[in-house]
């Protein structure tokens, strides 16, 4: 059956009847005029509950702690400089202190922010070093065109963004800029590209069948260590098969109409507001329910007319001149995050706002870049239907230490997963 892009509502209802879950953005009303003259659902329309979303935003170099963490806990804490841009959203976020993953390694440990586990330590663990976003994405399946969107850079210190990891320990490559993200969300392939994609699907299927069969024939002749390697290989094959199936599923479904013109890539500093806007659009159109953004080494100080590099300023040596310049960069990031929360709050979604149904995690795997420590990470949680408005302080030493992964268990549970563990968790936090 063919459908016309001018009939978005009827197309979506057809897809739903064909066994595809494609949720419309929550609408305040749905009338027969939307469905077209003479069309009727034949029954009373029941509004579905808005889906839960998850957004994670990571900073590669952390934040200057004295201007990030308040001195007092509870609801009536005084906001330090870096939190002041969030003042309009005070009742919609919670600040956590004392949470971390208990890992060491400075910059190299930053990549455990969403997994809780260093890649080098992941072998043998039940879930490897799968990141929070990818664990949630496993439950989404083909309900959205993109189970998750990973946004970041391929440049900067230590080889670009490495925040998101699959179950087999493979880095999820990021979408590098607003132009690429826009095209992924809104630009449809032409007929020739779609046909080529179908050919690729068939080719990949035959290759996967062949390598799977060859590997199975070897399995009986391998020792224990080689069987472990083969198990890792099978895990990778299953991930490829899963992505292949999801891609095929959406190949013939038109993308939403673009609400803005295609943007140009400039630099991470100037592109940051646009990336946030595109993330909001991705959630609003239900193109995805999971998105991550890592602000990495390509966030350059020269766009602020600051001579010293961002990385150098993070190693400020407690010199006030360096700290003042570093705070300019960090305050800009906080202002853009506050702007993103404001945008989510402004978008109606069901009986509330998009922020009400989106868990937004903000923070870093770096605690104190000057000292290269990864303890007491900066962590903010906004939206998602949780009760907010406090600074919650936890002990991060001794028997009473609370792992950051406990918060992740709570986020996964709110997302709809029936799980009581993630990474190095000891239980749920919220």
pLDDT tens by residue, 299-350: 999 999 999 999 999 999 999 999 999 999 999 999 999 999 999 999 999 9
Q: What angle do CA 97, 53, 290 make, to 5 degrees?
A: 90
What pLDDT is attached to residue 21?
A: 33
Q: What is the mean pLDDT of residues 173-186?
A: 95
Percent with pLDDT over 90 in the chain:
63
What does the alpha-carbon distance between residue 314 and residue 327 come to, in Å, rounded to a whole number?
10
Angular region, 100: left φ>0, alpha ψ -120 to 50, beta rest: beta
What does the alpha-carbon distance between residue 212 and residue 233 come to, in Å, rounded to a whole number?
9
**Weakest-pLDDT range from 165-174, 300-309, 360-369, 381-390:** 165-174
pLDDT digits (tens, 9 = 90+) for 313-327: 999 999 999 999 999
The pair of three-digit structure tokens given for residue 254, joined into one six-digit string: 């038109």
pLDDT at 15 over 90: no
CB atoms within 10 A of CB 143: 16
| 352 contacts 96 by C-beta, under 8 angstroms | no
CB atoms within 10 A of CB 25: 15
Q: State how far the alpha carbon of 370 is from the alpha carbons of 64, 135, 299, 374, in Å.
A: 9, 32, 18, 11
Beta-sheet pairing, 53-59 with 358-364: parallel
pLDDT at 194 over 90: no
pLDDT digits (tens, 9 = 90+) for 38-47: 333 334 445 6
What does the alpha-carbon distance between residue 283 and residue 164 come to, in Å, rounded to a whole number?
19
């Amino acid at each position: 059956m063919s459908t016309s892009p001018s009939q978005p509502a009827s197309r979506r209802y057809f897809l739903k009847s064909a066994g595809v879950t494609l949720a419309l953005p929550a609408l305040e009303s749905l009338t027969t005029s939307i469905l077209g003259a003479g069309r009727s659902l034949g029954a009373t329309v029941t509004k579905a509950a808005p889906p839960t979303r998850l957004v994670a935003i990571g900073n590669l170099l952390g934040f200057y702690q004295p201007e990030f963490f308040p001195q007092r806990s509870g609801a009536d804490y005084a906001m330090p400089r870096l939190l002041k841009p969030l003042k309009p959203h005070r009742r919609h976020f919670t600040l956590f202190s004392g949470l971390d993953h208990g890992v060491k390694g400075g910059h190299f440990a930053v990549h455990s922010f969403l997994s809780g586990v260093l890649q080098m330590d992941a072998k043998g663990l039940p879930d490897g070093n799968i990141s929070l976003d990818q664990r949630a994405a496993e439950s989404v399946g083909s309900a959205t065109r993109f189970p998750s969107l990973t946004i970041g850079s391929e440049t900067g210190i230590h080889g670009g963004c490495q925040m998101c990891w699959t179950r087999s320990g493979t880095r999820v490559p990021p979408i590098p800029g607003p132009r690429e993200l826009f095209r992924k969300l809104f630009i449809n392939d032409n007929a020739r590209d779609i046909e080529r994609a179908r050919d690729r699907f068939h080719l990949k299927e035959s290759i996967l069948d062949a390598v799977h069969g060859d590997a199975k024939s070897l399995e009986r002749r391998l020792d224990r260590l080689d069987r472990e390697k083969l198990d890792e290989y099978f895990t990778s094959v299953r991930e490829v098969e899963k992505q292949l199936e999801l891609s095929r599923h959406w190949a013939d479904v038109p993308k939403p109409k673009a609400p803005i013109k295609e943007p140009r890539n400039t630099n991470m500093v100037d592109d940051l507001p646009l990336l946030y806007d595109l993330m909001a659009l991705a959630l609003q159109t239900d193109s995805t329910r999971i998105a991550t953004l890592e602000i990495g080494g390509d966030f350059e100080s020269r766009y602020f007319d600051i001579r010293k590099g961002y990385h150098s300023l993070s190693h400020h040596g407690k010199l006030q001149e360096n700290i003042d310049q570093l705070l300019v960069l960090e305050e800009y990031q906080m202002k853009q995050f506050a702007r993103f929360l404001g945008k989510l709050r402004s978008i109606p979604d069901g009986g509330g706002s998009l922020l009400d149904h989106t868990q937004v995690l903000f923070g870093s795997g770096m605690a104190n870049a000057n000292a290269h420590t990864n303890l007491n990470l900066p962590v903010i949680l906004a939206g998602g239907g949780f009760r907010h408005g406090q600074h919650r302080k936890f002990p991060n030493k001794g028997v009473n230490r609370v792992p950051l992964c406990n918060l992740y268990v709570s986020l996964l549970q709110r997302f709809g997963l029936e799980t009581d563990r993630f990474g190095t968790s000891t239980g749920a936090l919220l």
